[in-house]
Amino acid sequence: MAYVPVKGGEEAILNSLGMVAEERRGDPATPELTIAQIRQQQARAVDRVMAEGSLYDPDLAALALKQAQGDATEAAFLLRAYRTTLEQFATAPPLDTARMAIRRRISATYKDLPGGQVLGPSYDYTHRMLDFDLMQDGPRAPAARAGTPVDAHMPRVPDLVANEGFMEPALPPEGDPAPGDLTRQPLGFPAGRDTRLQNLARGDEGFLLGLAYSTQRGFGSNHPYAGEIRAGEVPVEVVPEELGFVIDIGEVTVTESQMITSIKGASGENPRFTRGYGLVFGHSERKAMSMALIDRALRADEFAEPRKYPAQDEEFVLYHSDNVESSGFVQHLKLPHYVDFQAELKMLREMRAERQEASQ
């Protein structure tokens, strides 16, 4: 038999892309999804894509979800790659979560507190039973409205406790330095808390959840309390170079979690509560709480705690939390490796042959 080599790749790739497009659209008799539908009706998926894509833009996140057929990790990757092409106009002063327009705010450490427990929209109080009414379009009852709005300024719970001196204060370091940005400077170790928090905020929700869970199951030693969870809208301010004064350019939805953990009284200090912090784009309490637990675990050195568990190991956590990195590298195994494989195969054959010779 004789063989003629042909160029294989190009046309097959183009046809594969065509097949993706056809499958994404599905049955043409079914109406196509709009970006507004995804943004409004799949908002938690949009939130996750923005958080892991590290880019706040609900429309583009919805577009990414549409393009990725609902695959959140793939959608986050699309946002990340798009980010690379944009110029950074300005940095904004840090978001002030005390000014949040509260949608939800709860505390597990106090029964009642200034501003109250605001349940907001949450699946926590639902029964996880499929709602077959949603199989059909139909009018939905509007939510109730109270006569008076929630307080415009609600104090953060740990700040209430801090006022009594029981809580480790959250103060900026000397000079309130601008934070690092790990998308511009590669990771170095030991990493600052700023770098760790940024890494966690864009980390994979599943990875963070599993690690946070491990700290509760014995691979960690802190007993945490959910000091406060809050979600809502925070204004974004910038100082444009052409204006020279602060302007408000819109708002972002974020979820903040303050975990209050173990009492410390090392080296003659008064015993007090320590804290872990979580802040993420969109409404995602699962992720914000996981982040806060891991933030606290990673602060082991600060409190002279032995670093024994995965969640306390900063190289382990920071290098493996990013799903765009991990997904790419796990899946790169799909790329051809026949040069390497051939090298291994060849060695095995040679070693086998030598053994056979030796035994004869």
Partner 1 sequence: MDQEEMMARADWLAVLARAPQAAMEAALSGVTTGPVVWIRPAGIGMVMLEGRAGGTGQRFSLGQATVTRATCRAGEQIGVGYVLGHFPRRAELMALCDAALQGPSGAALMARLITPQQAAQRAARDDRARAAAATKVEFFTMARHAGARST
Partner 2 sequence: MPMSAPSRRYNYGYLDEGTKRMVRRALLKAVAIPGYQVPFGSREMPIPYGWGTGGMQITASMITPADRLKVIDQGADDTTNAVNIRRFFARVADVQTTDKTSAATLIQTRHRIPEEPLTEDQVIVLQVPQPEPMRGLEPRETECRKIHAWGEYGLMHLKLYESVAQTGRITINHSYPVLVGGRYVMSPTPIPRFDNPKMTGMPALQLFGAGRERRIYAVPPYTEVKSLDFEDHPFTPQHFPDPCGLCGAVGVYQDEILLDDRGGKMFVCSDSDFCARRRAAGHKGPMAED
Q: Within 263-292, which residues bind partner 1 (CB under 8 A)?
A: 275, 277, 279, 281
Q: Which is nearer to partner 2, 111 or 184 (CB)?
A: 184
Interactions with partner 1, residue window 291-320 (CB under 8 A): 295
* Cα–Cα nearest to 204, from 69, 321, 32: 321
Q: Which of 33, 150, 187, 209 binds partner 1 (CB under 8 A)?
A: 150
Interactions with partner 2, residue window 1-30 (CB under 8 A): 1-5, 7-10, 12-13
Q: Which is nearer to partner 1, 68 or 231 (CB)?
A: 231
Task: End-to-end CA distance of the chain: give it in Å, rounded.
Answer: 36
Q: Which of 28, 127, 335, 359 binds partner 2 (CB under 8 A)?
A: 335
Which of partner 2, partner 1, none has residue 26 at its interface (CB below 5 to 8 Å by kind)? none
Q: Is 60 in the site for partner 1 (CB under 8 A)?
A: yes
Q: Which of 39, 48, 66, 80 binds partner 2 (CB under 8 A)?
A: 80
Phi-psi region of 225 (alpha: psi -120 to 50; beta: other; left: phi over 0): beta
Interface segment toward partner 2; rule CB under 8 A; list 23-31, 63-71, 84-92, 164-172: 84-92
| DSSP three-state, residue 69 | coil
Q: Is 140 in the site for partner 1 (CB under 8 A)?
A: no
List the Cα angle 204/236/149 in 5-degree steps. Answer: 95
Which amino acid would we find at residue 114?
P
We find the least distance from the C-beta atom of residue 86 to partner 2, in angstroms, to be 8
Which amino acid would we find at residue 25?
R
User: Rounded distance, CA 36 to CA 56, Å?
Assistant: 16
Interactions with partner 2, residue window 287-316 (CB under 8 A): 315
DSSP type of residue 33: P
User: Rounded distance, CA 117 to CA 131, Å?
Assistant: 27
259 bridge partner residues:
226, 276
Q: Is 356 in the site for partner 2 (CB under 8 A)?
A: no
